[in-house]
Chains A and B, each alone.
Chain A
């Protein structure tokens, strides 16, 4: 442990603990997932950075979206994201979740993933190298330190517009709203 950070541990122990134990949900979308096995195994050993893949969304707090998102996958992504306990961080990996990438005129691929769930950081590239995951994670640490990785708070506050966008893309959703929609008038601040 870095001795310079010991004051941070006393100030905000929960934040520091979250930061150094990012449990990534093992969710495979698209082609970018091929970069993840070398990252979590011996070659680029992600456990140095405190990242371990976990099996279920209920244990996870980091969501890597690795590659293009089809309309059918978006449904699974939203359900997975809503099951994760807070605080939760999402990182879009590759250029396809950013703006569609090479699938920008596809009939069945979601463009601009941040219209449907909040994204804390993007990794550009097609494909990014495995090292890019570590660059993103160290950057995510800085964001968590500065309270800027607040996608889950945005999701709670603007749930009405997120839900509206999800319904526009997917039609009717078969699960109930995660947060009460009626209690979200403009200017309801806490």
Chain B
């Protein structure tokens, strides 16, 4: 598969690992600072669709993993991007979860980054509005982190709300 793209990526960027999972998927693991450059060059290589940004909390490694899934929207038989999903992974430190936004490359990254900011507490520098998207209340620890104790939270909040005492006539 896609030898030329792979060689191009490996020759252009330092500290990059490219592995092919199967015929249609390619996993690219890169450093934090080279992500936007890689995304830019992939977009030029007709990978014009950002399908998803997701985050994983690796608490034992003390790191977050950000995962960008990029594909080609208009499928073209001749293009080298045909039917190929690129999964771009990077790790950032858990203590200082700061990252740069990719809205200037892929504009549809905005809601994904807002959601990740809300649920994991990763701050995206340059994002125009990191306001709450889904949640109603403030959490001390963002709720999708592994050290957020849901049972304790439920016990403290929802189980402490008393039932309504019905007055007897």
Contacts and interface: CB of A to CB of B under 8 A. Distances in A.
B21 interface: no
B134 A111 contact: no
Contact of A111 (B151, B154, B162): B154
A168 interface: yes
Interface string A128-162: 00000000000000000000000000100110011
A107 B139 contact: yes
A169 B163 CA distance: 12
A5 interface: no
A170 interface: yes
B161 A162 contact: no
B165 interface: yes
A112 B137 CA distance: 19
Interface residues of A, number: 27
Interface string B118-146: 00000000000000001111010001000
B36 to A, nearest CB: 32
Interface of B: 134-137, 139, 143, 148, 150-151, 153-154, 157-167, 169
27 contacts: A72-B134, A75-B136, A100-B158, A105-B150, A106-B154, A107-B143, A107-B148, A108-B135, A108-B143, A111-B154, A111-B158, A111-B159, A112-B158, A114-B163, A115-B162, A154-B164, A154-B166, A157-B167, A158-B167, A161-B165, A162-B164, A165-B162, A165-B164, A168-B160, A170-B136, A170-B137, A186-B167
Interface of A: 71-72, 75, 100, 104-108, 110-112, 114-115, 118, 154, 157-158, 161-162, 165, 168-171, 186, 189
